Amino acid sequence: MSNKKLWSGRFNQPTDAFVEAFTASVEFDQRLYQYDIQGSIAHAKMLAQQAILTQPECDVIILGLEQIQQRIEQGGFEWSVELEDVHMNIESALTNAIGDAGKKLHTGRSRNDQVATDIRLYLRDEIEVIRSEILRLQLALLDMAESEAETILPGFTHLQTAQPITFGHHMMAWFEMLQRDRERLADCNKRVNIMPLGAAALAGTTYPIDRNYTAQLLGFERPSENSLDSVSDRDFAIEFSAAAALIMMHLSRFSEELIIWSSAQFGFVELSDSFCTGSSIMPQKKNPDVPELIRGKSGRIFGHLMSLLTLMKGQPLAYNKDNQEDKEPLFDTVDNLKGSLKVFADMIPAISCQHDAMRKAAMQGFATATDLADYLVRQGLPFRDAHEVVGKAVARCVEKRCDLADLELVELQAFSNIINADVFECLTLEGSVAARDHIGGTAPRQVLAAVARARANLNGSV
Ligand code: ARG
């Protein structure tokens, strides 16, 4: 079997051995093989339809490519660095297998439009997988939100106790972020799913190709409009990476909460043993490794976004070899994003809420101070004055080391004589959350309604 370079016609000297390895991409782009073959089969069919290839030539090419795919999948394909990349490895294997017809496959195309097509086919598939992993995580959050719709914990701003909220409401906040993430990927896919094939090296090709037909065979929305643009830009990959960075940012924040919540000091949740590890020296430890690792992985994914932006910023039109550097950041983004989503979706149902600890924490830090102010407003006091009155009452509680609900009615009345015995209802945690009873509010009733709306929406859209 010869590994003669497919472009070596004008060369007199062999490639420097180090340069050969340095410029090769086969080590990482071989993972595109199925898309490369899929693209080649569609290209061959189009060439035959246009009578650029004969039907027997097309048939033997397709059969040859299918056999190569099988060989790759069975581990019997030998990738060669001398043949530089996935495209030339497969083309050369095809020619070795079927002879001259194999040499005709590259008619009217270039590796430049070929690689751009491969990446788009790959990314289109991965976007679908990622979107379904996000959905799985969302469904886990809906179940959790439903079963913990009445569970009360302190809500924070500045990580200081702010107002009581329900755990279900908190889960639905993450649900919403993931919903936008999933939509963003669907939107990104509109620009991914455009076919570059036919742009050839940069200017198009002199053969009477039918790009609509190839696009249709490959399930692309349409062929791209401009050949130079098609082979050179990687904005679709950058856009995907930006969407991935946002997802990881969300997962990282969520992880941060799980890490804090599972600490002995908070104790709001218990992570299942299967998602934690121990310490080799401290026997008491159960570390939240999974959320920590996801928080950590967000860094490399943000980095890949920067890599890709920087990769493109200095490139004149059209294709430049720089673009070969798009793959590793993109693949690593896909792999780590998928992994993070998978483990998160598996982990959520395995979280157990520690209701007592949440409740105890919600009782500290004057979480119902705003409710007292709202009570005074309902009694006719302007909000700013009510704020002042409650501030004084809180200061008194700080002195006495007690909560607002622990003050006697007479003590409260010392701050404002419009306070009556019914005030205690709104100082309870249940009263506080139940009162926020509007779309987007934390009342258990609203959480259940939000879950129901979300389920209906998902059923409508998935
Ligand atoms: N391995 C190359 C890449 O990933 C394929 C395209 C190479 N084209 C070229 N003219 N050298 O971008």
What average pLDDT values come out for the chain (462 residues) when binned by 10 residues? 74 90 97 98 98 98 98 98 97 98 97 98 98 98 98 96 96 98 98 98 98 98 98 98 98 98 96 84 84 98 98 98 98 98 96 96 90 94 95 94 90 94 91 95 98 94 61
Q: How far apart are CA 326 and CA 224, in angstroms?
A: 20
Residue among 429, 393, 385, 437 nearest 411 (CA): 393
Can you tell me which atom of ligand 1 is nearest the CA of 86? 1
Strand-pair partners of 359: none
Ligand 1 probe mutation, 25, 79, 87, 326, most atoms within 8 A of CB = 25
Got the DSSP string for 264-320?
TTT--EEE-GGG-B--SS-TT--B-HHHHHHHHHHHHHHHHHHHHHHHHHTPPSS--
Strands 222-223 and 194-195: parallel
Q: Supply the residue whose CA is at minimum distance from atom 2 of ligand 1.
A: 324
Measured in angstroms, how far is the CA atom of residue 223 from the centroid of ligand 1?
A: 20
Per DSSP, helices labelled H in 348-428 are 355-363, 369-378, 383-400, 409-413, 423-427
End-to-end CA distance of the chain: 49
Q: What is the pLDDT of residues 299-323, one digit of tens each?
A: 999 999 999 999 999 999 999 999 9
Residues serving a catalytic function are: 158, 279
Instruction: State whether the beta carbon of 234 lies less than 6 angstroms from ligand 1.
Output: no
Closest atom of ligand 1 to CA, residue 84: 1
For residue 327, give the ligand 1 atom closest to its CA. 4
Which amino acid type is present at position 436?
Answer: R
The CA R_g of the chain, rounded to the nearest whole Å, is: 30
Atom of ligand 1 nearest to the CA of 326: 4
Output the CA–CA distances (angstroms, integers) from residue 414 to 367, 374, 392, 417, 422, in the order listed.
21, 18, 10, 7, 16
Domain 10-107 belongs in CATH node 1.10.275.10: yes
Fold (CATH) for 121-199+225-360: Fumarase C; Chain A, domain 2 (1.20.200)
Find, among 159, 153, 178, the residue nearest to 348 by Cα.
178
Listed in sequence order, the residues at least 6 apart from 38 whose beta carbon sits closer than 8 Å to its beta carbon are 121, 218
CA of 228 to the centre of ligand 1 (A): 15
CA torsion, ordered 309, 314, 320, 322, to nearest 10 deg: -50
Span(s) in the chain for CATH 1.20.200.10: 121-199+225-360
147: DSSP letter = H
Residues forming CATH 1.10.275.10 domain(s) in the chain: 10-107
Residue pair 286/273 in contact by the 8 Å Cβ criterion: yes
Q: 372 and 344 in contact (C-beta within 8 Å)?
A: no
| DSSP β-ladder status, 152-157 and 222-223 | unpaired
Question: Of 387, 253, 232, nearest to 321 (Cα)?
Answer: 232
Closest-CA residue, ligand 1 atom 11, reads: 321
Quick check: CB of 371 below 6 Å from ligand 1?
no
Ligand 1 pocket test, candidate residues 35, 115, 312, most atoms within 8 A of CB: 115
Which atom of ligand 1 is closest in space to residue 201's alpha carbon?
10
Q: What is the pLDDT of residue 1?
A: 45
- The verdict on the CB of residue 91 being under 6 Å from ligand 1 is no
Six-digit token pair at 246?
A: 């946002």
CB of 298 within 6 A of ligand 1: the answer is: no
Cβ distance 304 to 241 under 8 Å? yes
The model carries a pTM of: 0.94
Residue 412: both structure tokens together: 């409260």
How many angstroms does the Cα of residue 443 sit away from the middle of ligand 1?
A: 57
Cα(238)–Cα(249) distance, integer angstroms? 16
323 CB near ligand 1 (under 6 Å): yes
CA angle 340–342–343, rounded 5-degree value: 70
- Tokens linked to 354: 């520690």
Burial of 269 per CB tally in 10 Å (0-12, 13-18, 19+)? buried
Six-digit token string for 43: 């290209």
Interacting residues of 7 by C-beta distance below 8 A, sequence separation 6+: none
Return d(Cα 423, Cα 440) in angstroms, integer.
Answer: 25
